[in-house]
């Protein structure tokens, strides 16, 4: 499909729409996903006593344990239930949500047909991802064999023709996964993402590794490969308690910073700690709001995005979590109490996503 | 009466014990409680169903941020559930729980004694009165300070009602913001009761940063021993390090007792937008700062479990949260086992015996 036909429009899983039709948007979610990532995130426990808990389905009986050992339960790490995804997404729609960007890509369970069905069932606009997540989510041998050009072509095809033979097209390049230290293959994927951005005009979402230096490293790889940093989103700015200085470097380079784990208020399993021994001391929602207020005060309002990155069962309302409507139900009222205006909230939840999701002239 | 028999010992619901027998102690919990005196019927029709549903997986999401807008959530009435939940703490090597549930919010001495027998845990029971909303204002208006003092002294030295089961601590005394006259009267009576019995006082200050200081002033004027006062809910009331230092200078214990509650305070409960709560890692850094400033002997740690959704059986964090999750986090962040021991064993050992 000629790229010129979708310049200025947004590519959803059921076709092109006008940017004006986006409305309130969550720019980083997963409706269906497999986060087990080939033994990187979920690891078979050694102790016999832990194996039962690791393989039990999530239920009220083990919810307390799973909340604190979230990556040690296999069932928790997968969202495979389409009906549940529809039910959960509807809670977001009922509160006024209109669009969800599903950042699930190759290797963590991207299912274009299912996303199209969920879109039709809920009436929500759904935008699909492309590219590759962290190295654990694919075979290293397979990716070693691919060239940058081949990966670029894959992403371009996903956006312009469709994923595999579904004809269902991606609308963003992401979430491109990075580990710490950055793997060669991940670097290759970032560069391919930058080239694909040039060819398609789509925006890039980057999942940085768990280290203070990781976001800047990813940004530099993209920049050196010619990416438009003004159309790059650095995700999970609230996951590791990054310093203000780090955030400002990204923002001053033009990137968007995404506060996308609203609803996860504290406990982070140390097993998934930053590779250099640095513990992930993330803020709670109030802490996020204060950081955002600070950034708005410094002039960065137009570069801030908000989301939940729902990706585990315990984050769903059906399992006691905040779900896709958490921002609208709990956080927006809180923001208002803390002095963020309706207009500023609108900028972050409507205008900023709109600017990114609109495919620009390559 | 202050007798040689009790001095230096700790009063549990099954009898006196030596301070050495306390071990790891949670100084502020509720095993059984009925907070529904504080329940407010919602106005919106759509909220009424939510308000009266039993707690289940279906409404846990809602309850996480609206814990006091559901009637069932505000009651812990199931003795077996309390035993099961307390056993998780016992399995994690906990030894003592101070249950600060008092008159008006469901103090149940016989049940506490049974729970103690069933679990092998030491349970210390509270005395005194909670916030004015938990009793009839007329009733309290009619009581004199002396009458209230006598009640507390009797709870500690003779037993609650006719159970013969004795309280071991004065608290949690409830304060609103602004402070009601009756609440001031109870504080003053408590100071007198402290002098008579040698028990420590635990106070739930009003929801304002000035409240802890107001309480210390009133207790001080009434002759309380300022070194044997426990100021509860510091993680909610004092969000500023310098304010916490100011409070600690008065000599009281600063109790971080909301471990596990990592979200924000429900706006439903406070008119002033008094919503800030730290999460557990932030609590750790705040406590570390207080230790570095030299105040380790004046820090207490607890969870204040008081709603169903905080119990493990309802997906919450339960009484073993500090031992299972917070202690490892503290050790990972540069604190020592000795420091943790001071806060969880030595400090309670100093404050729980009668002096």
Sign of CA dihedral A222, A224, A227, A231: positive
Span A125-159, pLDDT tens digits:
999 999 999 998 999 999 999 999 999 999 999 99
Which of A330, A334, A340 to mutate against chain B (most B CBs within 10 Å)? A330
The shortest C-alpha distance from B281 to chain A (Å) reads: 6
Q: How large is the ipTM?
A: 0.93
Q: b/e for B162-201, b at 16 or more Cβ within 10 A?
A: eeebbbbbbbbbbbbbebbebbbbbbbbbbbbbbebbbbb
Sorting pLDDT into bands at 50, 70 and 90, what band is B1? very low
Cβ separation of B264 and A267 shorter than 8 Å? no
Check CB contact under 8 Å for A63 and B324.
no
Rounded Cα gap, residues A346 and A129, in angstroms: 24
Residue A266 to residue B262, Cβ atoms within 8 A: yes
d(CA A350, CA B173): 48
Give the separation between CA A226 and CA A306, rounded to whole angstroms. Answer: 26
| Contact call for B314 and A60, based on CB within 8 A | yes
Mean pLDDT of chain B: 95
Percentage of residues in chain A with pLDDT exceeding 70? 96
pTM of the model: 0.95
Dihedral (CA of B65, B68, B69, B75) sign: positive
**Residue A243, burial from CB neighbour count under 10 angstroms (0-12, 13-18, 19+):** exposed
Of A34-48, A235-249, B199-213, B266-280, give the range with the top mean pLDDT: B199-213
* B247-290 confidence digits (pLDDT tens): 999 999 999 999 999 998 887 766 555 789 999 999 999 999 99
Is B115 in contact with B86 (CB distance < 8 Å)?
yes
**How many helices and strands (H and E) does chain A possess?**
14, 12
Residue in this structure with the two tokens 């190759």, named with its chain if needed: A106
The model's confidence at residue B246, banded by pLDDT at 50, 70 and 90, is very high
The string of pLDDT tens digits covering residues A155-174 is: 999 999 999 999 999 999 99
| Residue carrying structure tokens 């509720």 | B30
* DSSP string of B96-153, one letter each residue: EEEE---BTTT--HHHHHHHHHHH--EEEE-BSB--GGGS-HHHHHH--HHHHHHHHH
What size, in residues, is chain B? Answer: 355
> Rounded to whole angstroms, how far apart are CA atoms A115 and A127?
9
Contact B102, B172 (CB under 8 A): yes
Kindly state whether B269 is in contact with chain A, defined as any CB-CB distance less than 8 angstroms.
Answer: no
User: Around Cβ B40, how many Cβ atoms within 10 Å?
Assistant: 10
CATH number for the domain harbouring residue A161: 3.20.20.140
Domain that holds residue A54: 3-357
B209 found inside a domain:
yes
The pLDDT of residue B42 is: 87
DSSP label at residue A72 = G
For residue B300, being part of any structural domain is answered with yes
The CA-based dihedral angle spanning residues B30, B151, B228, B132, taken in that order and rounded to the nearest 10 degrees: 60
Cross-chain Cβ contact B324/A319 below 8 Å: no
- Average of pLDDT values for A329-351? 96
What tokens does A183 get?
């793997």
Q: Is residue A362 part of a domain?
A: no
At residue B43, the pLDDT reads 86
pLDDT of residue A2: 63
Q: What are A63-84's pLDDT values in tens digits? A: 999 999 998 999 999 999 999 9
Residue B5 lies in a domain: no
Give A38's pLDDT tier (boundaries 50, 70, 90): low
Measured from the Cβ of residue A147, the count of other Cβ atoms closer than 10 Å reads 10
Torsion angle, CA of A192/A196/A197/A203, rounded to 10 degrees?
-80
Residues from chain A that touch B258, judged by Cβ atoms under 8 A, are none
The reported pLDDT for the residue numbered A274 is 52
| Per-residue pLDDT tens digits for A310-319 | 999 999 999 9
d(C-alpha B40, C-alpha B2), whole Å: 42
Q: What is the mean pLDDT of residues B190-204?
A: 98
A238 touches B at CB < 8 Å: no
| CATH number, domain with residue B169 | 3.20.20.140
For residue A177, the surrounding DSSP H or E stretch is: strand A173-177
Name which of A210, A211, A205, A168 is nearest A190 in CA terms: A205
pLDDT, one tens digit per residue, over A1-19 is: 566 788 999 999 999 999 9
Distance CA A286, CA B346 (A): 34
CA distance B231 to B246: 13
What is the per-residue pLDDT across B50-79, written as a single tens digit (0 to 9) for each?
999 999 999 999 999 999 999 999 999 999
Among chain B residues, CA nearest to A333: B267
Nearest Cα of chain A lies from the Cα of B332 at a distance, in angstroms, of 8
- Given a cut of 50, whether residue B137 has pLDDT beyond it is yes
pLDDT of amino acid A43: 81
Q: What is the largest CA-CA distance in chain A?
A: 59
Instruction: Please give the Cα distance from A99 to A256 (Å, whole number).
Output: 19
Cα maximum dimension of chain B: 60
Query: Cα(A261)–Cα(B346) distance, rounded to whole angstroms?
Result: 39
B342 phi/psi in degrees, rounded to 5: -60, -45
> Across the interface, which of A284, A320, A333 has its CB nearest the CB of B60?
A320
Q: Cβ distance B265 to B236 under 8 Å?
A: yes
Chain A interface includes B318 (CB < 8 A): yes
Tell me, yes or no, whether B7 lies in a domain.
no
Domain count, chain B: 1
Coil/strand/helix, residue B206: coil
Instruction: With cut-offs at 50, 70 and 90, classify the pLDDT of residue B165.
Output: very high
CB pair distance less than 8 Å for A284 and B61: no
Total count of domains within chain A? 1
In a domain, B4, yes or no: no
**Identity of the residue in B56, B65, B332 whose CB atom sits nearest the CB atom of A330:** B65
Beta carbons of B191 and B226 less than 8 angstroms apart: no
At A47, the pLDDT band (50, 70, 90 cuts) reads confident
Burial A164-187 (b: 16+ CB within 10 A, else e): eeeebbbbbbbbbbbbbebbebbb
φ/ψ of B49, rounded to 5, equals: -65, -50
Whether residue A218 lies inside any domain: the answer is yes
Dihedral pair phi/psi, residue A25, rounded to 5°: -130, 135
B249 touches chain A (CB under 8 A): no
Is the per-residue pLDDT at B13 higher than 70? yes
Return the residue of B nearest to A330 by Cα. Answer: B65
pLDDT over 70, % of chain B: 97
Q: Which residues of chain A lie closer than 8 angstroms to B313, CB-CB?
A: 60-61, 64
More reliable by pLDDT, B3 or B101: B101
Contact A209, A186 (CB under 8 A): no
Which residue, B78, B72, B112, is CA-closest to B96? B112
Query: How far is it, in rounded angstroms, from Cα A337 to Cα B264?
Result: 12
Domain that holds residue B152: 14-351
Res A270: pLDDT: 67
3-state secondary structure B35-99: CHHHCCCCCCHHHHHHHHCCCCHHHHHHHHHCHHHCCHHHEECCHHHHHHHHHHHHHCCCCEEEE
Tokens matching residue A305: 């995005």
Beta bridge partners of B170: B201
Mean pLDDT of B190-201: 98
Instruction: Return d(Cα A59, Cα A66) in angstroms, integer.
Output: 9
Q: Which residue of A has its CA nearest to B58?
A: A318
B281 in contact with chain A, both atoms CB, cutoff 8 A: yes
**pLDDT digits over A269-292, tens only?**
766 655 556 677 889 999 999 999
| β-pairing verdict for A78-79 and A99-102 | unpaired
Q: Which residues of A91-121 are buried (b: 16+ CB within 10 A; e: fewer)?
A: bbbeeebbbbbbbbbbbbbbbbebbbbbbee
Q: Cβ atoms within 10 A of the Cβ of A207, count? A: 26
């Amino acid at each position: 499909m000629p790229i010129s036909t979708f310049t200025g429009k947004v590519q959803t899983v059921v076709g092109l729409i006008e940017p004006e039709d986006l409305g309130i948007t969550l720019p980083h979610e997963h409706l269906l996903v497999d986060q087990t990532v080939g033994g990187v995130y979920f690891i078979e426990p050694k102790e016999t006593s832990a194996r039962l808990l690791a393989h039990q389905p999530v239920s009220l009986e083990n919810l307390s344990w799973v909340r604190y050992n979230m990556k040690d339960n296999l069932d928790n790490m997968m969202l495979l239930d389409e009906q549940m995804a529809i039910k959960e997404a509807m809670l977001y729609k009922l509160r006024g949500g209109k669009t969800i960007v599903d950042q699930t890509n190759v290797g963590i369970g991207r299912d274009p047909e299912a996303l199209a069905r969920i879109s039709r069932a809920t009436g929500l606009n759904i935008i699909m991802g492309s590219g590759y997540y962290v190295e654990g989510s694919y075979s290293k041998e397979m990716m070693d064999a691919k060239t940058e050009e081949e990966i670029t072509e894959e992403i371009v095809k996903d956006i312009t023709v469709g994923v595999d033979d579904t004809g269902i097209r991606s609308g963003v390049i992401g979430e491109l996964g990075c580990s710490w230290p950055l793997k060669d293959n991940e670097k290759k994927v970032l560069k391919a993402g930058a080239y694909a951005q040039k060819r398609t005009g789509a925006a890039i979402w980057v999942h940085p590794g768990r280290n203070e230096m990781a976001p800047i490293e990813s940004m530099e790889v993209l920049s050196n490969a010619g990416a438009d940093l003004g159309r790059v989103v650095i995700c999970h700015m609230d996951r590791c308690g990054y310093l203000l200085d780090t955030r400002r470097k990204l923002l001053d380079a033009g990137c968007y910073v995404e506060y996308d784990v609203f609803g996860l208020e504290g406990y982070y399993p140390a097993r998934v700690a930053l590779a250099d021994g640095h513990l992930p001391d993330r803020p709670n929602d109030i802490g996020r709001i204060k950081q955002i207020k600070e950034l708005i005060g410094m002039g960065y309002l137009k570069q801030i995005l908000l989301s939940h990155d729902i990706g585990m069962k315990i984050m769903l309302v059906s399992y006691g979590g905040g779900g896709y409507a958490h921002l609208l139900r709990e956080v927006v009222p809180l923001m208002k109490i803390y002095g963020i205006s309706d207009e500023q909230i609108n900028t972050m939840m409507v205008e900023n996503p709109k600017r990114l999701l609109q495919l620009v002239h390559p | 009466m202050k007798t040689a028999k009790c001095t230096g010992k700790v009063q549990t619901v099954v009898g006196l014990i030596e301070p050495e027998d306390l071990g790891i102690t949670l100084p502020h919990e509720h095993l059984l409680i009925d907070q529904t005196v504080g329940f407010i019927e919602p106005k919106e029709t759509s909220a009424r169903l939510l308000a009266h549903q039993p707690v289940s997986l279906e409404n846990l999401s809602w309850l996480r941020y609206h814990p006091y807008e559901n009637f069932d959530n505000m009651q812990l009435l199931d003795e077996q559930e309390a035993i099961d939940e307390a056993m998780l703490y016992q399995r994690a090597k906990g030894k003592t729980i101070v249950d600060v549930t008092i008159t008006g919010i469901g103090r149940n001495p016989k049940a506490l004694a049974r729970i103690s027998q069933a679990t092998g845990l030491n349970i210390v029971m509270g005395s005194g009165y909670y916030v004015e909303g938990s009793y009839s204002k007329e009733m309290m208006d009619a009581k004199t300070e002396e009458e209230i003092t006598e009640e507390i002294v009797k709870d500690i030295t003779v037993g609650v009602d006719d159970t013969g089961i004795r309280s071991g601590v004065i608290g949690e005394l409830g304060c609103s913001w602004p402070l009601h006259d009756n609440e001031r009267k109870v504080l003053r009576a408590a100071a007198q009761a402290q002098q008579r019995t040698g028990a420590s006082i635990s106070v739930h200050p009003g929801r304002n940063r000035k409240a802890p200081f107001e309480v210390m002033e009133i207790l001080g004027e009434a002759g309380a021993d300022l070194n044997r006062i426990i100021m509860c809910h510091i993680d909610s009331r004092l969000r500023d390090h310098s304010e916490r230092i100011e409070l600690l200078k008065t000599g009281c214990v600063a109790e971080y007792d909301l471990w596990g509650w990592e979200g924000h305070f429900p706006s439903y409960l406070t008119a002033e937008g008094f919503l800030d709560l730290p999460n557990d890692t932030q609590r750790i850094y705040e406590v570390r700062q207080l230790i570095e400033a030299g105040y380790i002997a004046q820090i207490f740690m607890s969870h204040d479990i008081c709603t169903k959704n905080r119990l493990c059986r309802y997906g919450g964090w339960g009484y073993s949260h500090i031992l299972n999750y917070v202690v490892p986090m503290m050790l990972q962040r540069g604190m020592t086992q000795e420091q943790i021991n001071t806060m969880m064993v030595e400090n309670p050992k100093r404050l729980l015996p009668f002096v």
